[in-house]
Amino acid sequence: MKTVLILTGPQGSGNHLWSKIFALHPQVVGWEALLTEYWIGHDQEPFAPYWQDPSQLKYYRWAQSDWFVTSMSVPYMNNGATTVPDFRSFVREVQNLGHRVKFAILGRDQNIVRMQETRVRGTVTVDQALAVYDSLASPVFLSYELLHLYGRKYLETVSQQLGFPIAASDPRLETIMAEDTNSKYFSPVQHHPTDDMAWHTSRKWR
């Protein structure tokens, strides 16, 4: 059975990063243009026309693979207009074609997501995304922080959880994951009262 994986997350949660990762596998039809471009708007995502009119999915070239990935943030910008993907209609049309649909919801530290959305879009939309995701069936949650902490091992686990191929050993991952963009939102804490407590409890008792 052909499988369509829908990657979705709040604006700023890593949609482009994860799209690049899934596009690496030779058996997966994904957003391959991102492998040569750092960033492309979601209105140019390969499945974007079908999100606008899911009834056209019957004309998609399904014969090219058994594995497909589409990425849509909530919301996304469609020719300058803030748009929430119509998940229900898209899923219904894919399933009517006899294909399986899986959801992977992307996660990132909520404080960073809120700051990112405010900085880039001027408003916070993460709560809108969370409300939409309440209705999605049986998603697997993907963590930006765990990806950067555990790397390839985490991707192997995600592949098993999703039942979906990921090229966890592809050498291009090193370049894709070279920058942890969380770092620009952090500043070192010089001292905190709990530091003294931790130092005290870790001393060698006599």
In terms of Cα–Cα distance, which of 113, 109, 102 is closest to 158? 102
**Distance (Å, whole) CA 84 – CA 61:** 25
Q: Which domain covers residue 13, as residue numbers? A: 3-202
- Tally of structural domains, the chain: 1
- The CATH number given to whatever domain includes residue 64 is 3.40.50
Per-residue confidence in pLDDT tens, the chain, 206 aa: 999 999 999 999 999 999 999 999 999 999 999 999 999 988 899 999 999 999 999 999 999 999 999 999 999 988 888 899 999 999 999 999 999 999 999 999 999 999 999 998 899 999 999 999 999 989 999 999 999 999 999 999 999 999 999 999 999 999 999 999 999 888 777 776 766 656 666 666 54
**Token output for 81:** 């207009």
| Four-residue CA torsion sign, 42, 44, 46, 51 | positive
CB neighbour list of residue 145: distance below 8 Å, 6 or more residues apart: 108, 109, 182
